[in-house]
Structure 1
Amino acid sequence: MDRLAKIRSEEKKYHDHCYDTCNLFEPGSWLYKPVATVINLVDQYKEQEYLSVLDLGAGIGRNSIPIAKSLKHRNGQVVCVDLLESAIDKLKSYSQEFGVEPYIIPRLSDIEQFIIEQQEYDLIIAVSALEHVRSQQVLSSKLSEMNAGTRQHGANCIIIASNIREVNLEREQELEPMFEVNLTTEGMLELLDEKYAGWEVQQRFVKHLAYEISRNGERVKLTSDCITYVAKKSQSY
């Protein structure tokens, strides 16, 4: 199995297990509530009559379902892209359960294969997703595509890991991180600044994360820098 296939396999195992054992919006996992940065950004557009949103790596709807709820009193759509069938199946089920099915458009697709039409979206969200495209070159191209796909006055919200390390806790052994793209924090910020030059950068900060995960039944410590980057396509752009 090559490196990419191995990473995708591990990613699928981790998420399938999480989606099977944890319910959306129930305490006890990262699925408990949406990302505050995403919801706060959506609130900036609450007066807009129609809102078109793209959620890359939407999973089972942690962010897209709350966004869709905000569309009930106006109009709009949330296009939800995910690679995993398990995620898309549960997204459809949860969108029915929470009464937002008319606003959710599920798309089973690899992020890099999903074509972002130009000037199509007011908001593009990518939470813990873009580090899973196959290479730095693909990441750069996808960011350019996101840029072109955003309407005037629209915004992009990116939350992405950098400086990722995995250590087997039993053997105290450094492992190869199961992430396709693993840039230094400085390199990732430089890339984002380059792609969003001329935009109004509303948030740009780094938070160090450390938590325990399981890899093939063994305890692994995963550490990373979590970059939050929110940029708006300003009038002067």
Structure 2
Amino acid sequence: MNEVEKIRSAEMEYHNTFYKSAKLYQPGSWISKPVANVMEAFELLENSKPLKVLDLGSGVGRNAISIAQKSMDGTVIDCIELLPSAIEILNDNAKDYGVQDKINGIVSSIEDYNIVNSYDFIIGVSTLEHVNDEKAFELVLTDIRDHLAINGVACLIINSEVQEKDTESRELLVPQFEVNMPTNDMQKLVHNIFRDYEFVKEEIKSLNYIINRADKEVNLSTNAVTFILRRTK
């Protein structure tokens, strides 16, 4: 197993375990509500027509379900997710919230998914850094740029400068992120790729929290960068 496979396996194990224990929109976990910046970006859209939405790394529907609830009939949200178990839970959640006609769950890695449609809204929340490598990362960003409709909006939240530390031994661990760029370098890359787009919002949040890795508590710190982008021409 190479390094990327090890990282992806660890991430899949973490999310598989988490999704079995946490219920969507119930207090006490990070899926207790949709991401505020995603919903802020959604409000920039003309919502008087059915929308085409792409959620890259949808999980169990943290953002997609809320967007579906606020969208007109005929809206389709393509939810790309690597974990088959997460797609199963996503479909159950869509039924529970009465939006199953708007949710289209697709099992795929982000880098292997071929974007063919034009989308009004594209989301990538803490997922794009889990593609194979920096080349794949750049290609996915370019694909997003090329498939955003005129007046469409993208909300991308990307982790950078990630560190993971064993909470007991204080030992620095190998971060379980396939792409872990310096914050400034990542911002420059995004600005270059989306140079003809409007940067509606760009902010950096330094985050620090405890996660579980192979039954060990790990302190994860990151600079999470939010980009809200709009295509104007």
Shared topology, TM-score over 0.5? yes
Partner of 1:8: 8
Partner Cα distance (1:70, 1:111) in 2: 25
Letter in 2 for 1:138: A
Runs of 5+ consecutive residues of structure 2 not aligned to the other structure:
none
Question: Are the counterparts in 1 of residues 157 and 224 from structure 2 also a CA contact under 8 Å?
Answer: yes
Mapping of residues 127-166 of structure 1, within 5 Å: 127-166=125-164
Distance in 2 between residues matched to 1:29 and 1:178, nearest whole Å: 20
Q: Provide the residue aligned with 2:109 in structure 1.
A: 110
Residue aligned with 1:111, SS: coil
Name the count of aligned residue pairs: 233
In 1, the alpha carbon distance for the partners of 2:46 and 2:62 equals: 19
**Corresponding position: 1:124 with 2:127:** no
SS of the aligned residue for 1:113 comes to coil
* Residue in 1 that maps onto 2:176: 178
Deviation at 1:169, TM superposition (A): 1.7
TM-score by length of 1: 0.96
Report the Cα distance in structure 1 between the residues aligned to 2:164 and 2:24, rounded to whole angstroms.
27
Cα distance, 1:47 vs structure 2 = 3.5
Question: What do residues 160-183 of structure 1 show as CA deviations (whole Å, max 9, x unaligned)?
Answer: 100000111211111110100000
State the AA in 1 paired with 2:96: E
- 1:48 to partner: Cα distance: 3.2
| Shift in Å, 1:110 | 0.6
Match of 2:28 in 1: 28
Post-superposition offset of 1:213: 1.2
CA offset digits 1:195-218 (Å, max 9, x no partner): 110111001110000011122222
- Across the aligned residues of Structure 1 and Structure 2, the Cα RMSD in angstroms comes to 1.0
Match in the other structure for 1:188: 186
Distance across 1 between alignment mates of 2:190 and 2:44:
22
Which residue identity lines up with residue 105 of structure 2 in the other structure? P
Q: Tell me the SS of whatever aligns to 2:141.
A: helix
TM-score by length of 2: 0.97
Please give the alpha-carbon distance, in whole angstroms, between the structure 1 residues aligned to 2:50 and 2:83: 29
**Equivalent position amino acid for 1:82 in 2:** E
Structure 1 residue ranges, 4+ long, deviating more than 3 angstroms after superposition? none
Q: Which residue of 2 aligns with 1:99?
A: 98
Q: Which amino acid aligns with 2:212?
A: S
Query: How many angstroms does 1:43 deviate by?
Result: 1.9
Unaligned runs of 5+ in 1: none
